[in-house]
Structure 1
Amino acid sequence: MHSLLLHIFFLLSLLSNATTAPFHIPADCPSRCGNVEIPYPFGIGPNCSMDWNFEIICLNSSNPPKPYLEIGFLTYEVEPIHITYQFEVVNISETQIYVKNSTLQLAMACYGMEQYPNKTDIHMDFSYSPYTFSDSNQITIVGCDDLATVESNKSYTNSSVAFMSHCTPSNIETYYGSISTRSCTDTYGCFRALISKCDYLKVELMDAHSIWSENKLYQCSLAFVGMMDGLDFTYRLSNSNAPETFQNSKVFMDKRLVLDWRIIDSNCTTQKSLDSSCGNNSFCIDLDDSFGGSHCKCYEGYKGNPYLYSGCQDINECDNNPCFPSKTCINAPGFYDCSCPNGYYANGTSCILVPRVSHSHSKLTTGNFVIELSHIKQLEHNF
């Protein structure tokens, strides 16, 4: 029964996405929310996005206004329950959307501390939505004597890994000495792991100190998921006894989550046989991963929004003068040409002046004789 309801929900989702033909944006559809541009197929307000999966909520209560994206999914306990995640939108690109929600991105577990009785997990499910976790994300785990389990699906195959850290007083003396702040690249009490492309992620923290000793040096551990920015950060393990120091830190709590987006009901071959789902001067491309879907893309030499009816417009490459100074740039639809001006011919990247023949000093060479052409003309005049 649960499986049947899930399939019904999926089919309803497809029906809501049935129209993917090039779109005319109504004049009253905003193109920005605060400092963030909202390009179609995303949109603010009713009838401004491709479907409800791409609808953006613009909250004007903040200054500047902030855009938010809601992603919903079904879960089952006694009966189907629809759960919605809300993320602040930071940026939208041609294939990805950058969002953040520090509560959803953070897992925390404290042991033997009454002020932190509740353990939280990272648990996000984007099944049957046009979003997947990008492989640009990473999981960072901070703590001692803890076990972190990570569950995900890679190409719809469930997978799980575990990370474990072990800290003892001798470790601290050896690795730290008098230094209380360390870098995550030292891997002592801090671990990083890359995330493969998936649409389901669960990170759970568990106490593992009983495996080695009875005393736990630091009572709390944390894990968060976000964009792999390549930048290192420093932290104090002693702060794990006061996790609000992590929660108030932008280093941990302001990381962007990168999601890949796609048009989930569009297949290029099927669409082209019926009606093109892409605008002028653009083409449809099927995504080659197990999650399916497609994108529209501008032809080379064009730019614009390929999902709109107006489509992509020719780029005037000559505005930036890509030719060598001696050549002239000529723009054409989809490309440009570098030509030499009249009276010059191309020689590699340069233009060479075409030599001119002077009649008054020209010579005619025949065999071993050289005759001045001007003398011939004089003889003709005499006769």
Structure 2
Amino acid sequence: MALLHVLLRFQCSVLLLWLQLASAQLPNTGSGAIAKPECQDRCGNVSIPYPFGIGDGCFLGEMFEIKCNNSEPRYGKLNVTDIAVLDGQMTVATFIASTCSDQETFPTYFRSGKLTVSNTKNKFISIGCDTWAYINSSPWIGEGCSDCSKNEVTTDGSCDGMGCCETSIPPGITEYNVTVQRDPSKNLSFNPCNYAFVGEKSSFRFSSSYLQDFKNYGSGRVPVVLDWTVGYVPCKEAARNVTTYACGPNTVCTTGNNFAPGYLCKCETGFAGNPYFNLTTGGYCQGT
């Protein structure tokens, strides 16, 4: 009986090992598929889900191409840190405009092509005392920070005008310049540099220490959330062309975020998967 028990355990172990090996050899077409079959699904530590892709035949149209340079995903000249298929959003790392008492002003320029800067996920933020910052875009946006000649007036977590200001941005922006200026007559030891940037509001929490140094004196980067859509026409018109319509089976077509032209695809209620996959690629929306 003991020998039989050992044999059964051995057979179960062999069967389990065979199943694991077999599943590892299956193509990437299951409900958890990220990229198209035979396509790279990661660059560095960032997942690259379809309709985006790396390499010929792996993305849906030119505007969804991602380049992987030294394990760093790039969308054009933008550094990509996250792609959310179901939300129709991409997060990129952008530069910070800065000016210091002993240095020249460093403005920043941003251009995202068809992608639009999310007006619901981002804010225009400036840091520093006696600061004037503005975005040269359409429409033009400007803001100033209140005087904080004493470090004690600033409050951690508060961006209400004392050392830190934030304002909403309008929908539809695809490119802008950010410039920040400071009062040249004041040289505050606790606030050597001033900064301004468009950034993801949920990832930023003001600290009074930022008056002394923010992101290595402005040389670092901050996350910005972009909205993307498929094509340039609304759902009803897009669905008429079955050869270019991007939504797979068991999906619904919705309007894009941020009033952007084009459309997004989502799984129907009770289904899960990548709504841009079809029966050929696998990984499409399937019943849960």
TM-score, normalised on structure 1?
0.56
Partner of 2:39: 29
What is the distance in 2 between the residues matched to 1:293 and 1:44? 22
Q: 2:276 aligns with which of 307, 313, 329?
A: 307
Stretches of structure 1 that go unaligned for 5 or more consecutive residues are 1-24, 71-84, 153-157, 240-244, 316-383
**CA contact under 8 A between 2:193 and 2:211: conserved in structure 1?**
no
Residue pairs, 1:41-52, within 5 angstroms: 41-52=51-62
Cα deviations by residue, 1:154-176 (Å, 9 ceiling, x for unpaired): xxxx32232223537xx41xx62
User: Is residue 177 of structure 2 the alignment partner of residue 202 of structure 1?
Assistant: yes
Partner of 1:246: 214
What is the distance in 2 between the residues matched to 1:193 and 1:109? 20
Partner of 1:90: 82
Larger radius of gyration: 1
Cα deviations by residue, 1:192-231 (Å, 9 ceiling, x for unpaired): 223232223332112345xxxx444355311122111176
More strand by share: 1
User: Is residue 66 of structure 2 the alignment partner of residue 56 of structure 1?
Assistant: yes
Q: What number of residue pairs does the alignment pair up?
A: 242
By relative contact order (CA 8 Å, sep 6+), the higher-ranking structure is 2
What is the distance in 2 between the residues matched to 1:312 and 1:147? 49
What is the distance in 1 between the residues matched to 2:57 and 2:167? 40
User: Is residue 116 of structure 2 the alignment partner of residue 123 of structure 1?
Assistant: no
Partner of 1:329: none
Alpha carbons of 1:51 and 1:36: their partners in 2 closer, same or farther (altered >3 Å)?
same
Question: Aligned-pair RMSD on alpha carbons?
Answer: 2.9
Look up the equivalent residue of 2:156 and give its one-letter code. S
- SS at structure 2 position matched to 1:248: helix
User: Is residue 144 of structure 2 the alignment partner of residue 164 of structure 1?
Assistant: yes
Alpha carbons of 1:305 and 1:236: their partners in 2 closer, same or farther (altered >3 Å)?
closer
> How high is the sequence identity, in percent, across the aligned residues?
28
User: Is residue 166 of structure 2 the alignment partner of residue 192 of structure 1?
Assistant: yes
**CA contact under 8 A between 1:182 and 1:236: conserved in structure 2?**
no
Look up the equivalent residue of 2:61 and give its one-letter code. D
Look up the equivalent residue of 1:46 and give its one-letter code. D
Q: 1:133 aligns with which of 104, 113, 117?
A: 117
Look up the equivalent residue of 1:44 and give its one-letter code. I
Partner of 1:286: 255
**CA contact under 8 A between 1:145 and 1:216: conserved in structure 2?**
no
Alpha carbons of 1:165 and 1:266: their partners in 2 closer, same or farther (altered >3 Å)?
closer
- SS at structure 1 position matched to 2:249: coil
Stretches of structure 2 that go unaligned for 5 or more consecutive residues are 1-34
**CA contact under 8 A between 2:109 and 2:177: conserved in structure 1?**
yes
